Structure 1
Amino acid sequence: MSKFTILLGGDLIRTPLLDRQVAGTRVIAADAGMSHARTLSLTPELWVGDFDSVPADLPDELTAVPRQVFPAEKDKTDGELAIAAALERGATSLVLAGAFGGKRTDHAFLHLALSVRLAEAGTEVLLTSGAQEGIPLLRGKAGFDYADGTLFSILGFSDLSGLTVTGAKWPLNHIEMAFGSSLTISNEVKGRLEIALGSGRALLLAHPFPLTES
């Protein structure tokens, strides 16, 4: 398996879990995502984008990273171009670091939808901000190692059928769920979380650390 970390421009905090997830991976930065290289003490092998959002005061080892420059008016976002560069280099597994939040909600949505498409094509994908992470759900059954009390939601990108959730405070048994339903928002892990999906497109969004609600 060839695992790459893609540094995107969304929110990111450094955690011990995130350090483990990116350890030993090859790294590509997408434009403003280079700021996370400093946060995570990583040096990318490539920096991709139109460079309209270059972070200020980067150390010399980061400004010296080889660049792949694209025009500002292009058909793909910097993030999608960075992902394409990783796939061209043989990536079979991706950590999309900085995939959530930030100034561009449209980019964050793209990362969610694109991750599902990539997973369907056979690429393993993890989206993360450090505080929360997303994993595409494919047809079939999958298990997840989260501690009891971990908050999670299942985001549907289409109608879902045959959805079963066990190891949760509110389990579900082979249900049909309409696109746009809030039924699978804000559940909690209780035991070994397992999710089975008959058909449809969805993503598991989990908060691996306790949240303090205001």
Structure 2
Amino acid sequence: MRNPSTGPAGYFPDFRQRENAVAAHEGTKQATGRYSIRTTDGYSGRMSETSNETAASGDGKVCAVFGAGEYYGDMARALAISAGAYVVAADGGLDHVRALGLTPDVVVGDFDSLEGGRPDAGTRTVTLPPLKDDPDMLSALKIGWAAGYREFHIWGGLGGRMDHTLANIQLVALLARHGAIGYLHGDGTVITAICDGELSFAAHPVPEAGHMISVFSHSDISRDVNEPGLKYELLHGTLTNTMALGLSNEFRDGVEASVSVGDGTLVVTFPAEVPVPQMRRFRSFTREEAEGIGELDTEVSALLVR
């Protein structure tokens, strides 16, 4: 990682683009007043601050989470999508948030991957113990969830350590199982997951080289899987988590497409150039499912050998 004071190479081809995007981000956030998270004091989990606003459902609101993984020069796009979003920096993700010129709403982590200085005074900070159960990324998602957000865009969650990449794919599946949606961005690819619902992709130009989309079953079995509008139109199919049938499908030029599953959880990958899809649920999630992805855990792991 480069010195955060200078920023990684290739972040912004035009410095004015950065200035304009930052101004738009801060202006939108001030206009919407999205400062709704409660923060914890040390490891105790004691709530020390609340905001005037509560976001009950998170509908139409976006939480942008920045991790410490690879960014692949995608930061201009990250900044554009994050305009007006509720920003959570997960540990070393704070280096990237600073490089973008953004002010995080919350910073969380044990700060083992942070290369720059600790969070500025006055920044809402949740300090976690190093010997914990939840990874920093999950803690960041729990903070966004507690603030009422149900759409998450995650940068720095791909690349680097493969186990972290796999864990973060598990996390977007976790969000899907609770009726929310998360998008992992990196290396020109977006990874998301959907449970008992549909992703609808708008018609868009497709280059001659094609735009690949792949669909995998995260659950043991995914039933009633449909992929209308794609080059290979699977209809009312069944996928399992040991099948690769959904690999390397393609969008068609100027044709709307969708991916749906009647019963199960799918992981879907598509190019970053493709417009972000609309998500529709096929059922109402149970109260237990909708209540959340778990409480923020600030304790040392009980599984630790002592």
Instruction: Report the TM range for the smaller structure's normalisation.
Output: 0.7 to 0.9
Whole-Å separation in 2 of the counterparts to 1:171 and 1:35? 43
1:174 matched residue in structure 2:
236
2:144 matched residue in structure 1:
86
Cα displacement (A) at 1:73:
0.2
Helix, strand or coil at the partner of 1:80: helix
Whole-Å separation in 2 of the counterparts to 1:46 and 1:177? 39
After TM superposition, the structure 1 = structure 2 runs for residues 87-106 of structure 1, keeping only pairs within 5 Å, are 87-102=145-160, 104-106=161-163
For the pair 1:4 / 2:68, whether they are aligned, the reply is no
1:48 matched residue in structure 2:
108
- For the structure 1 residues 163 and 31, does the alpha-carbon distance in structure 2 shift closer, same or farther, using more than 3 Å as the test? same
In terms of Rg, which structure is larger? 2
Cα displacement (A) at 1:35:
2.5
Helix, strand or coil at the partner of 2:84: coil
Which stretch shifts more, 147-156 or 183-192?
Answer: 147-156
Contact 2:196 2:264 in 1 (8 A): yes
* Aligned partner of 1:156 among 217, 224, 245: 217
* Aligned partner of 1:113 among 170, 182, 189: 170
Helix, strand or coil at the partner of 1:205: strand
Provide the alpha-carbon RMSD of the alignment: 2.3
Contact 1:162 1:197 in 2 (8 A): yes
For the pair 1:33 / 2:93, whether they are aligned, the reply is yes
Which stretch shifts more, 141-150 or 173-182?
Answer: 141-150
Match of 1:166, as an amino acid? P
Contact 1:147 1:189 in 2 (8 A): no
Whole-Å separation in 1 of the counterparts to 2:205 and 2:134? 37
Whole-Å separation in 2 of the counterparts to 1:35 and 1:90? 25
- For the structure 1 residues 40 and 207, does the alpha-carbon distance in structure 2 shift closer, same or farther, using more than 3 Å as the test? farther
Unaligned runs of 5+ in 2: 1-58, 275-306
* Aligned partner of 1:131 among 176, 183, 188: 188
1:205 matched residue in structure 2:
269
Contact 1:135 1:205 in 2 (8 A): yes
- For the structure 1 residues 41 and 168, does the alpha-carbon distance in structure 2 shift closer, same or farther, using more than 3 Å as the test? farther
Contact 2:176 2:265 in 1 (8 A): no
2:30 matched residue in structure 1:
none
Unaligned runs of 5+ in 1: none
* Aligned partner of 2:201 among 144, 154, 157: 144
Whole-Å separation in 2 of the counterparts to 1:154 and 1:67? 37
Match of 1:3, as an amino acid? V
CA offsets 1:150-198 (integer angstroms, 9 cap, x no match): 2111122122221111221222121122222111111210121211212
2:258 matched residue in structure 1:
194
